[in-house]
Structure 1
Amino acid sequence: MRPTPRAEAAEAYRQRLLQLDKLPHLAALYLAGDAYAGCNIYVLAAAGQFWISTNSNCPDVELEIISVQCDNQLGHYAVVRSGVDHRDKTIPLDVLFTDFKLKSWPDAN
């Protein structure tokens, strides 16, 4: 990612941390910068991305991330739409990380 889009993405994430997680300004700034610098998967999973399976038993599975959510019971997860059945389902982010690889980011139009 070029420096300007990376800075814009980190700033957008900082804003979400302020609004959704109610973090203090400096904590949100630190977490957003650190997460993007370290390529933290829990931050980089984002709506509009496409992920493909790394599992040899189902190599053609492609997922589109609709949203990334957090729940007290489910933890962090993505709402995804599969190219196979076109139905929305949830997948824990750790499963997304271990069983899939990022194929593409959404266009920044």
Structure 2
Amino acid sequence: MESSQQSSNFDIDREENASYCHYRSKSSRKTSLSNDNSGRRFYSCPNYKSSKHCKFFIWYNIEILERANDVMRQQRDIIKFLRKDINNLETEVKELKRMVRDDDMLR
């Protein structure tokens, strides 16, 4: 993403300037999921994720509250931890099922 310095050129009448990308296509508003800008909204070319985008980018809001940013980071960390925990438990369940099956076969 380009720096917020470029977005400062659009501070006046932000909605109007963010309506169309450099290709004159209606820009779309997205939400950043990066660690540094988690939750911040921005406008971009509708083809932002493809190789055919025009590199149009502007922050929708100047900055998200730092506390909200911290909370979102913490929530992502908790989700990562819980997913890892789920994977470990699923592995343990598979192993226990295998042990029960093996035990049944020995009888």
Mark yes or no: TM-score above 0.5: no
Structure (1 or 2) with the greater helix fraction: 2
Instruction: Give the TM-score band, short-chain normalised.
Output: under 0.3
Q: What's the TM-score once normalised by structure 1's chain length?
A: 0.23
Judging by fraction of residues, say which structure has more strand.
1
What TM-score do you get using the length of structure 2 for normalisation? 0.23
